[in-house]
Chain A
Amino acid sequence: MTDADRITSYALAYRWLAQFFLAPPDLAMLERYRQDEGQRVLDACETLPALVPVARMIRDRTAPGRDLRAEQAAFRKAFGAAFDIGGPRSAPPYASVYLSDTGRLYQAPAQEMFRILKNLHRRMPAGINEAPDHVSVQLHVAAELCARESDGQPLPVPVCDFLEHHLLSWLPAFSRRCARLRMSDTIGVLAHAAAALVTDDVAQRRARQTQGIAHGVRSNEPSGGARIDP
């Protein structure tokens, strides 16, 4: 895989994973995973080690003979318990909760994400009213940065810095909290995958920087890793 392919793969993987934190998959989506096109998607996911547990979970839960309505209800229940209300037995999917002293919403991480979105000239679509430091928004921003990197466009923040400072700064804690959920077999798997995916991406990027391997595409990643203030 070229470096460009690798970056593109991660961009797609970020996007794919992001959707599971915004809403549980609906029945139609589960049915698609049971079809050939869905199976191909899951095959593709399994090419990235971090996504293997998620792909297997979906493959298992959409296997022939499984009651997809019941599975969808289970997804919805797990999602609702983890994200919809909050509370001590939930796992709020916002960076602010984990990175601020008070555990409150819309703290400095939300401001930073607001700035990054502004500099990317990107906004949330109408109808999705989530804080900008929601894990899904961050994963989509990661995808956007990867895509721009792949296209050789200027970046408001180096991809690696973004991944480290905005995602890896809290995803492990988020993942641990998800693992303690009562229905951790769903949300815990997803959160672990998100943390692992970003970790793998960062590790590969850092390794390439360290090893001085020439990138297949022109990269905007500053070699020193210094963060460009967005």
Chain B
Amino acid sequence: MSNHTTQTITRRGVLKGATALGALGAFAPALLRPGMAQAATEGDVLTGSHWGAFRATVEDGVWTKVTPWDQDPHPSPQLEGVMDSVYSPSRIKYPMVRKAYLEGGPGAAPEDRGSEEFVRVSWDEALELVVAELRRVSESYGPTGIFAGSYGWKSSGKLHNCQALLRRALNVGLEGKFVNSSGDYSTGASQVIMPHVMGTLEVYEQQTVLPVVVESTDVLVFWAADPIKTNQIGWTVADHDTYPYMEEIRASGKRVIVIDPVRTETARFFDADWIPIRPHTDVAMMLGIAHALYYEDLHDQDFLDEYTAGFEDFLPYLTGESDGVPKSPEWAAEICEVPAGQITELARLFAGNRTMLSSGWSIQRQHHGEQSHWMLVTLASMLGQIGLPGGGFGLSYHYANGGSPSANSVVLPGISDGGAAVEGAAWLTEAGAASIPVSRIVEMLERPGEQFDFNGSSVTFPEVKMVYWTGGNPFAHHQDRNRMIKAWQSLETVVVQDFQWTATARFADIVLPATTSYERNDIEHIGDYSLKAILGMKKVVDPVFESRTDFDISAEIAERLGAGEAFTEGKDEMAWIRGFYEDAARQGPSKGVDVPDFDTFWEEGVVVFDIPDEAKQFVRYADYRDDPLLEPLGTPTGKIEIFSRNIEKMGYDDCGPHPMWMEPVERLGGEGSYPLHVNSGHPQHRLHSQLCGTKLREQYAVGGREPCVINTEDAAERGIADGDVVRVFNDRGQVLAGAIVSDDIRPGVLQLYEGGWYDPVTGGEAGALDAYGDVNCLTVGNGTSKLAQGNCGHTGLADVEKFTGDLPEVNVFDAPAEG
């Protein structure tokens, strides 16, 4: 017997009987066990995130420091928030069930979601509840009773893709009996219209690369695009490779024009010409430019003839021959409040120079948003520079570092959903028993069994009774929050799997604690477009509290559904990761790339690929321009469709056969009874709602609330000063925010970034005052049109006033107050 054991026994004997308190022994069990406390790692570990690759320093079991990867040319300051999020007070520590649900079962007091207390349960109990409910709903309501079209910016990684894993569990364990979603909130309108127009999604395609822009572009237009802000993040692991090129463009002195109601980060970076357009009127301004091009004979008729279809059908609309309204610069100026002379000058400038029209996506997240990019393509077609170096248009320069030259890389597969997922474009999958356009979820709950139009089809809203959400936060990204709260009450069961108490988790019945990316192993590319490296996303720290990895959770659900082996295929976390890597490595010989074996790679942590010179000369649509017959587009005509016969056949009253100006449901100068437009752009210091609960908030919160930028004149009219807490309101909702009075926003426009965490003063109550500043309390929840059914997150008018009542506390960043 060792000396240590002897001492332990001696001590135990003492503790049991030697004192008056000896009786406590049986009631005071020892907790600690012999053995060394172990951490997942100590020292530095390389891993990655949407915000970039980084080295995490772990000291004594705690992650203490973030150091950007040494090959990241422009690390994001948001990385600090990544570490902070792991230890946030808002972490979900244990499986939890809403009290009424636990006591009363499915459908119990749904109106109390968001306000009622949660009760801790064991993992076994929680998973049994989930699985029993999956079975019950499936048997009671058929194959479309469960919504598993969970959507959102899930964490990076090819294995712990929680949305694919959820659907995989239901595909193998429930025979695919669930409702899925198609599309996304980012580009809902464009990704449906663009295939009709260009034959591709366009929004997620490689752009004419930035070295070519540096060399060949004369005029660079950022139309509602703010790449300096939004390229901080990537869907995989952000590479930030666009920033050095942006610096080159700035140094070159090229003309940069920013068309936006807000003087953006990009406008400041380039000291660009800022054209503060009236929101929601971009199509009118584009039409005005097109009209000037046509009447000054600056358009490229040869290009239109050879490479496009239907310009002649669009022309009568442009000239006013078909409707009596010429879309002249003067007409446009009345709508967009950009002077007619400036519109004409822009037409001349664009036509007289190599011009790249780079557009963001906000102008298609609006009512009739399909028209914006269709008209932008039409304008670029009239300029005739598509397929020329540095000319044409681009819809992804602002996203995930689009335009970064692509490496000669092997490509990783990822976990499949076990069904009919579309390879490489999982967000477009139509797997499942039914599917809805993702942003129609509230309408689905409001109108079960009713028909709706979608891209030429008539679709029926399924009757969904159970929602399982993971890797997303619809109570942040969906519009018209109060309408959503009411619709959510029609559900009998809501399951949310997340690592923190998001608003969505607070409106759930069953809450499953997942790990963050940094408490598990995974693998991912660095660079969405560059694919410049493969990164081992190594575990930084052990799972905190009772959180489990997404793979583990879904695997156990599949197991309990009787399909554990089909789900795991007999592989654990590291076996899957190795498999993905080895599948990719097999592409090496055919691509002429030396790829190290897995063990070497995992030890090194990253493998970086060369970017060949030819990749730095890529010009989008150069092949098509060179030979339109051999390299036709994927449209019915093989050409750019300015007029679409397919859309014409659909006969929609809200999306005609060619781009046109259509009045939205509300806008400044148009319909709507409130005087200010709400600009709900992307935030500078977080990714949608991610990292809102971190110390990054200290950099931007005003009065502890989401900042609201108000034009100086508008603020003066209302007696609002910098730093005041204001109430922004309309008929849909009301939020508090902190005022920033500025001339960097045009009059008549408020800016309240999307992604602020919803923090109702009265939890669960529709119409409650939001104490922090969730802009989607104010936005319109309609679809963009019958064509795309995208979201209208940038449509909405409101008013603002200085808040003079008793200021409610902001509580959302701790954990549910209902505890």
Contacts and interface: CB of A to CB of B under 8 A. Distances in A.
A8 to B, nearest CB: 5
A19 interface: yes
A12 B815 contact: no
Interface stretch (A148-156, A159-167, A169-177): A148-156
A47 B21 contact: yes
B34 A121 contact: yes
Contacts of A144: 32
Given A80-B120, A129-B543, A148 B31 contact: no
Contacts of B7: 148, 151, 153
Contacts, number: 208
A74 interface: no
Contacts of A22: 31
A105 B816 CA distance: 16
A213 interface: no
Interface string A53-85: 000000000000000000000001000111011
Given A15-B31, A141-B32, A84 B819 contact: yes
A105 B37 contact: no
Contacts of B15: 8, 11-12, 147
B544 interface: yes
A44 B17 CA distance: 12
Max chain A C-beta neighbours (<10 A), residue from B15, B37, B814: B37
B116 to A, nearest CB: 12
Contact of B545 (A43, A44, A129): A129
Interface stretch (B88-96, B238-246, B311-319, B655-663): B88-96
Contacts of A9: 19-21
Nearest to A22: B31
A104 B88 contact: yes
Contact of B19 (A1, A82, A104, A115): A1
A102 B695 contact: yes
B649 interface: no
Contact of A105 (B10, B26, B87, B695): B87
A5 B28 CA distance: 17
A159 to B, nearest CB: 14
A114 B60 contact: yes
A156 B428 CA distance: 58
A178 B15 CA distance: 30
Contact of B31 (A103, A111, A136): A136
Query: Secondary structure of the A side of the interface?
Result: helix
Interface in A1-23: 1, 4-5, 8-9, 11-13, 15-16, 18-19, 22
Interface in B3-30: 7, 10-11, 14-15, 18-30
Classify chain B: how many residues form its interface, as a range.
35 or more
B275 to A, nearest CB: 42
B19 A107 contact: no
Contact of A12 (B22, B39, B695): B22
Nearest to B122: A127
B19 A86 contact: no
Contacts of B29: 15, 19
B817 A89 contact: yes
A203 interface: no
Contact of B90 (A4, A86, A131, A150): A86
Contact of B544 (A15, A47, A106, A141): A106
A124 to B, nearest CB: 7
A108 B695 CA distance: 17
Contacts of A107: 62, 87
Contacts of A121: 34-36
B59 interface: yes
B87 A106 contact: yes
B18 A5 contact: yes
Interface in B644-671: none
B545 to A, nearest CB: 5
B804 interface: no
B23 A40 contact: yes
Contacts of A212: none
B117 interface: yes
Interface string B787-819: 000000000000000000000010100111111
A147 B14 contact: yes
B18 A8 contact: yes
Contact of A85 (B88, B501, B546): B501
A44 B24 contact: yes
A182 to B, nearest CB: 10
Given A5-B18, A16-B27, A111-B61, A125 B118 contact: no
B10 A151 contact: yes
A38 B543 contact: no
A228 interface: no
Interchain residue pairs A-B with the least CB separation, the first 10: A86-B815, A85-B819, A16-B28, A87-B815, A111-B60, A15-B28, A114-B61, A122-B32, A84-B120, A117-B37
Interface of B: 7, 10-11, 14-15, 18-39, 59-64, 84, 86-91, 93-94, 96, 117-120, 501, 543-546, 695, 809, 811, 814-819
Given A111-B62, A121-B36, A125-B31, 10 more contacts: A41-B24, A84-B93, A85-B93, A85-B118, A85-B816, A102-B695, A105-B91, A117-B32, A143-B30, A147-B11
Interface of A: 1, 4-5, 8-9, 11-13, 15-16, 18-19, 22, 29, 32, 37-38, 40-41, 43-45, 47-48, 76, 80-82, 84-90, 92, 96-97, 102-108, 110-112, 114-115, 117-118, 120-125, 128-132, 136-137, 140-141, 143-144, 147-148, 150-151, 153
19 contacts: A5-B18, A8-B14, A11-B15, A15-B31, A19-B29, A37-B23, A45-B21, A84-B118, A85-B815, A87-B817, A90-B815, A104-B84, A104-B89, A117-B32, A120-B32, A122-B32, A124-B33, A137-B32, A141-B32
